[in-house]
Amino acid sequence: MPRRLCCGETNRHEIDTHPDENAGRTSLRFSISPGVSADLNKPASIKKEATANLLLMIPLALTQLATTALGITNILIMGWSGSAALAAGTLSVHLFTFFSVFVGGLLTSASPLIAHSIGAGNPERAKRVAGQAINVALILAIVKR
């Protein structure tokens, strides 16, 4: 069975390739660490995939419901305070959401840059990108206040 390292000598990711006698093609097996591997040629069963997705969906759905309930509660309380408070609160929520999405998108771009630097064996670049991302986050947090 030919083996090759996937992500450099320091990581334990290995890809095993060997001919599949039944189908006449190459079979792939991805090994993350000793004892943990995945056969890339065998599709997972629909029942397992559906169960895994439902288990992931439950906390996400509960979080979304809690966020919606909090927003409705805020609107009710601001509405009881008067129309000016409701208008100011609604405007502030829209501005806050805009800046949160902008900052989140900007800082999310740092993750693949850091991962690429580490994968390329350039830890200095990874440290530099991480430091720049932290500085941008701090500056934007001060500006957003």
For the chain, the domains span 3-39, 44-81, 82-145
pLDDT value of position 60 = 93
- Percent share of the chain, pLDDT over 90: 34
pLDDT in tens, 6-43: 454 444 455 455 555 555 555 555 555 555 555 555 66
46 pLDDT more than 50 = yes
Q: Per this entry, what is the length of the chain?
A: 145
pLDDT value of position 133 = 92
Q: How many CB atoms lie within 10 A of CB 126?
A: 19
> Amino acid identity of 87?
A
